[in-house]
Structure 1
Amino acid sequence: MDKQKLAAKIIKEMGGKENIIQNWHCITRLRFNVTSNNEVNIDNIKALDGVLGAQFQSGQFQVIIGNQVAEVHAEISNILGTGENNQLPSAKKQNGNIIERIFDVISGIFTPILPAIVGGGLLKGLLALFIAVNLLSEQSSTYEILHFISDAPFHFLPFLIAFSAAKKFNTDASLSVALAGILMYPKIMEYAAGTEVDSLSFLGLPIPMNSYASSVIPIILGVWLLSYIYKGADKIVPRSLRIIFVPLLSLVITAPFMLMFIAPLGSYAGIYLDTFFSGMFDIAGPIAGLLMGGLMPLIVITGMHYAFFPGTFASFDKYGYDIMLLPMNFVANLAQAGATLGVLLKTKNKKMKQLSFSTFIPALFGITEPAIYGVTMKLKKPFYASLIGGAVGGGIYGTFAVKTTAFTVPGIMSIPTYIFSGNNLLYALIGVIASFSVALLVTVLLGFEDEDSPLEEKTSSNDKAIIEKDVTINIPSPITGKVMPLESVPDQTFADGLVGKGLAIEPVGDTVYAPFSGKVTTVVPSKHAIGITSDDGVELLIHVGLETVNLNGEGFALNVEVDDDIQLGDKLLTFDLHALKKQNVSIITPIIITNSPHFLDVIATSKKQVTACDDKLIMLIK
């Protein structure tokens, strides 16, 4: 194909350069954000020579090209004149659902800083345990140093959020962190702690002296405002003076406005969020707890739990504890562990028994995604049992207003964070034991559709004759997981076989292995997909997840490069399954024979579960 002409025709049929906001590509398709979907003539694009298909999906317009997508994308970028981020500077922003955008912002800001938050929170819990068993004294210098370490991520939370928000809002990181420093300036903190100075005057306008330690909303809104002020200043200041005056104008305009209006508003909003949720539990504690505990897995799966972060931190800052997000997560996670143990005890399938055991242990420690996706949700009834168990535990927590004193992973290691006044720890233990036990018992009583043994390959007499003639190529599975027919993949490009024949796997592991000896032929910058060719000439595409190209490589690590020789069992790439699920992207992994027309037939396995490099996945007939 003439790639330059094809690129020009695609741009023309998309409504021209002015209708394109951003363009990039994955291993098989061009991807675009457009200003108006109505300007795109999708039928004409589908009819172009060199285009395998076109569709609107996940807020993008996608043009399926195949293995020459990189060359076509390069020609499109040359015509559009896009920069490093493949975005047209003059393009309008794409409008989307406001709720989805809010969740996207909150998730994008908090996910990168969770290690610091979780690390500090877990250390807080351990300190509480050490004091409770008299291993440490609150008056000792060792305790004080460890307290400094555990408390720093929370006290200086605005700095962490500022750095992460700068990336999310695509603005200057150093100026964003400087805004956090202004909020946390010692003199402001000193005034806020005392009673002599309630506010200072700036150009006749009052600036309230509030403490913004551990705050969330003020700095998020401040960095959001900075992103617009910075871009505006960058446009009006002459290029030769930008290095001096753009930072100056950004700080001088943003900081006073933030201190006068945004920061106080954000602080009050955090307080109101906390007051609302605390009030909800005060008025209808058992019912609120029952609903939250039962629905928490669904909330986490959809990523909506990030919306509760600001209220949680506001509660920690004001009261020193949380009664909703973390406690409800705790009972829900232990319910998942109980349901998984129920599967372990009841299943007769050897592979499911191994899988449930390997996911049961992480679930106890609060890492439930492997259990949810690999065991309970897959078998359905155990997942329902976990919801029931979480609701029972949540009802108990809501009744007794169980509190946690630190932000940490809600698993058994978080138990020390429930050491609080009165019988808080006792009620916490009763709640999680109840949620665990109920989920376990309901799983055993309800049962689930089990398999006595793995399904065997179904081959006809004709297939067996072909096998005897040695005119077949058998491809083992490159990934461990659940097998799905290709037509059930929620992506029409793969489901319709536009890229080639094959199937899909819902992985339970984190590694893609080489299923044969051969060579690496294609990798993509976002690391989510890889193309390999066997010594027999089989061209195989392994595409980890759907829409994972949008993660820009986050959560993926390539172990090979283009033209590397590979052997059966070599690690090709690894991925963080937990992180991908937190990003709310599908982990369904299409495995495609991209040169399917070169073979008489492509026969997929009939097994429902496969193990990497052990089980046969695809049989090719020459």
Structure 2
Amino acid sequence: MAHEPAQQIIDAVGGPDNIASLTHCATRLRFQLHDGDKADPTAVEKIPGVLGAVPQAGDRFQVVIGGGVQNVYNEIMALPVMAGVGGGAGGTGGGDSDADIKARERAKGPRGTNAWLDSLFEFLSDSFRPILGALLGASLFITFMALMATLGVIPAWNSPGVTLDPSWAFVNLMWQCVFVFLPLMVAYNASAKVGADPWVGFAIMAVVMLPVFTALGAGVEKTALFGFEQAQVAIVQIWGLPMPIADYSSQVFPPLLMAAVLGPLYKLLRRIIPENVQLIFVPFLAMLIMIPLTAFLIGPIGVYVGAGLASALAAINSFSPFIFAIVIPLAYPFMVPLGLHWPINAIMLLNIQTLGYDFIQGPMGAWNFACFGATAGVLILAWREKDKDMRQTATGALAAGLLGGISEPSLYGIHLRYKRIYPRMLVGCLTGGLIIGIGSLILGLEHGITTRAFVFTSLLTIPAFDPIGLYLIAIAGAFVVAMLLVMISGYKNPDQAGAAAVAAATAGAGTVARDADEAASVSEVAGPGELLTDGSAATGATAGGAATAVATKGQGETSEVGALLQIASPLDGTAVGLDTVPDPVFAGGVMGPGVAVEPSGDTVYAPGAGTVAAAQPTGHAFGLQLDNGVEVLIHVGIDTVNLKGEGFDVKVKNGDRVETGTPLVTFDRAVIEKAGYSAITPVIVLNADAFDSVDPVKLGPVSHGDPLLYVQKKA
């Protein structure tokens, strides 16, 4: 069904009755839930097309989708069960009014000790995210203009005093429209976020951006605002009061501060003005109060704050571009998840407006490409491990990064879920920062790598940076180092390795695992029934007239097409059918075909020569990639993962080479039985779809090393 993933998402967040409102940004669905505890992040992350789930304070819940979020949002809103649920700011579901929901949320109190901090970060993020598409589009226009200037097609279009041909000047307007009127866009989004009429916020900010407003300061000598040289304003007298006249184009701190004041004012006016006249007097009184307040005080303070932050960063960069080039890429991996990078983006814009260039985006590129390099490493491992879900996640995240410069799909879809990635990624960030810092010293660059335009650091925007050669080396170094480190060390901890390996192998076999934490999987292993081309230690056997080769030594060769392979028993005990296993996942063949062994011994042995793809540290499950191409799962007992390793002594680790009969783990059956668990051990062929058939050799008493399964290769 076309809407199946959409319905699964709704079910996983607690159903339509639990949804107060639903919006989306460039990469994520953003739910406001009635009860955040009803959302199941684990279930959400298992849904096809979902890159990650991010629970937040205040019963907010985010589902990371990536570039196709608009389509998923549309599918969700088209569901019949969503007919009563609001989309956009302030939408409600379940018949509750906006006031009812807010009252209920106030009564609950914040979820967590940092709810106010989460709200602040979300306010900053939501003020920018809806205009991300416009910013991306504008950044590509800027890059195109930079490329044309580099090739000598047009003069340096962003240098003072340069006049472009009208045709090229028109192209230049295609990006200027976004950044000149950026304060209006931010004012609209920020006002909506705080619960005010967004068009009222837009109108308030529009007053100080009118050409006529700016003209009030014409002919007046500019002075330093509050003694701050970076904030130059013209002071004019309005009704006997001094009003600072500033250029508000591209400014973002003034609209953010304006909205922060407008929100509480709007709520106050709604409380004291009768409902039947609110439509008229709430907007009027809000504008009457906020327009003068913004022009006289809030706007200039915003200019001052922005200039102050920009000046502080410029001072650090001027003191030591080397230190600055290292600090920025190392700080960004922690700033982006919190939304703190959006104010820095505002400073970049201010730098370009006041200095004519920006010095932050170059080092930021080192972070971005380290992030994308780590994702590339995960993608390569996912291909190697046949992990279909991670391949899809990493491919989408890498495309969004390299082509759009957007890091959120990588961060929320992969990196924050697998904590081993972050240290490796930070080494990539440090590498890129060191290259920029050292290169700046060698080349004598006063401000390091700079750009004269605000762009998203992607492959498409490389021409916007100067010097381009140093920038290329830096981002390539950050990308490659992060990628190689992730590839070498892996990105999963031992528990995640086993879980993801099962998901990968079962996906390849066309099956679904119920609980990946209770199984281990295989991606590159091999086994006991292979035909050795060098003739060493192979014996012939027959079964029903079919030729069988049993190898006693693994050489990595693959059996010939159509050959009948044997999988040896990993245990002493009694072979029984899978339907006797007290677990519906194994009994129903969900994990794949195979057989189970009721153990009489206490040791599990390798059923063939190959590689350990996943060895659970708890000892309850092992995945082997046999040399003949068979992927085997050995699950010691049912629900024994709950013992957390008690009674198990693991002998191997991931990546170890094993031969037929190599001990994998010893276990204490008394511990298992005392805990009330069954010691029955399923032996499963995970990639059964690669073969014509998988059949038991026989049922009954077996010893380890005896033939247990026949696997017929496809003709």
Question: What is the TM-score when the length of structure 2 is the normalising length?
Answer: 0.50
Equivalent residue of 2:196, what SS?
Answer: coil
| Structure 1: gaps (5+ residues) | 1-21, 31-55, 63-69, 478-482, 486-600, 611-622
2:151 counterpart letter in structure 1: V
1:334 is aligned to 2:374: no
Q: Given the superposition, is the C-alpha separation of residues 404 and 193 from structure 1 closer, same or farther in structure 2, using an over 3 Å criterion? A: farther
| Alignment partners' CA distance in 2, 1:416 and 1:447 | 33
Corresponding position of 2:290: 254
Corresponding position of 2:147: 129
Q: Structure 2 residue aligned with 1:308, among 344, 363, 368?
A: 344
1:281 is aligned to 2:317: yes
Q: For the Cα contact (< 8 Å) 1:455–1:606, is it kept in 2?
A: no
Q: Structure 2 residue aligned with 1:296, among 332, 343, 348?
A: 332
Corresponding position of 1:576: none
1:411 is aligned to 2:458: yes
1:384 is aligned to 2:423: yes
Instruction: Report how far residue 464 of structure 1 moved.
Output: 0.3
| Alignment partners' CA distance in 2, 1:86 and 1:149 | 42
Corresponding position of 2:165: 140
Any idea what the Cα deviations from partners look like across 1:9-51, whole Å, max 9, x if unmatched? xxxxxxxxxxxxx982579589xxxxxxxxxxxxxxxxxxxxx
Q: For the Cα contact (< 8 Å) 2:139–2:175, is it kept in 1?
A: yes
Corresponding position of 1:433: 476
User: 5 Å matches for 1:25-424?
Assistant: 25=35, 28=38, 58-59=57-58, 83=98, 86-88=101-103, 97=114, 98-136=116-154, 139-192=164-217, 194-195=219-220, 198-324=234-360, 326-342=361-377, 348-351=384-387, 354=391, 360-365=398-403, 366-371=405-410, 383-398=422-437, 400=440, 401-418=448-465, 420=466, 424=467
Q: For the Cα contact (< 8 Å) 2:579–2:588, is it kept in 1?
A: no
Any idea what the Cα deviations from partners look like across 1:442-471, whole Å, max 9, x if unmatched? 456656778999557869966703489999
Corresponding position of 2:643: none
Corresponding position of 1:465: 579
Equivalent residue of 1:86, what SS?
Answer: helix
| Alignment partners' CA distance in 2, 1:81 and 1:444 | 50
Q: Given the superposition, is the C-alpha separation of residues 461 and 155 from structure 1 closer, same or farther in structure 2, using an over 3 Å criterion? A: farther
User: 5 Å matches for 1:514-529?
Assistant: none
Any idea what the Cα deviations from partners look like across 1:340-361, whole Å, max 9, x if unmatched? 4556667742337956666555
Q: For the Cα contact (< 8 Å) 1:288–1:395, is it kept in 2?
A: no
| Alignment partners' CA distance in 1, 2:431 and 2:579 | 58
Any idea what the Cα deviations from partners look like across 1:135-169, whole Å, max 9, x if unmatched? 45652222111111101111111110111012111
Q: For the Cα contact (< 8 Å) 2:34–2:59, is it kept in 1?
A: no
| Alignment partners' CA distance in 2, 1:396 and 1:338 | 16
Corresponding position of 1:550: none
Q: Find the structure with the greater CA-based Rg.
A: 2
1:338 counterpart letter in structure 2: G
Instruction: Report how far residue 328 of structure 1 moved.
Output: 3.2
Q: Given the superposition, is the C-alpha separation of residues 297 and 230 from structure 1 closer, same or farther in structure 2, using an over 3 Å criterion? A: closer
| Alignment partners' CA distance in 2, 1:397 and 1:88 | 52
| Alignment partners' CA distance in 2, 1:221 and 1:270 | 11
Aligned length: 424
Q: For the Cα contact (< 8 Å) 2:243–2:295, is it kept in 1?
A: yes
Q: Given the superposition, is the C-alpha separation of residues 341 and 194 from structure 1 closer, same or farther in structure 2, using an over 3 Å criterion? A: same
Any idea what the Cα deviations from partners look like across 1:448-499, whole Å, max 9, x if unmatched? 778999557869966703489999667799xxxxx9x9xxxxxxxxxxxxxx
Q: Alignment RMSD, CA only?
A: 4.8
Instruction: Report how far residue 277 of structure 1 moved.
Output: 1.3
Instruction: Report how far residue 223 of structure 1 moved.
Output: 2.3
Q: For the Cα contact (< 8 Å) 2:372–2:402, is it kept in 1?
A: yes
2:208 counterpart letter in structure 1: L
Equivalent residue of 1:406, what SS?
Answer: coil
Q: Which has the higher helix share?
A: 1
Any idea what the Cα deviations from partners look like across 1:394-440, whole Å, max 9, x if unmatched? 2333453211233332111111221x5xxx22322232122223334
| Structure 2: gaps (5+ residues) | 1-31, 41-54, 62-81, 86-91, 158-163, 223-233, 441-447, 507-512, 514-518, 521-573, 593-613, 617-677, 688-715
| Alignment partners' CA distance in 1, 2:262 and 2:450 | 36
| Alignment partners' CA distance in 1, 2:380 and 2:284 | 65
Q: Given the superposition, is the C-alpha separation of residues 92 and 199 from structure 1 closer, same or farther in structure 2, using an over 3 Å criterion? A: farther
Q: For the Cα contact (< 8 Å) 2:372–2:401, is it kept in 1?
A: yes
Corresponding position of 1:8: none
Aligned-residue sequence identity (percent) comes to: 24
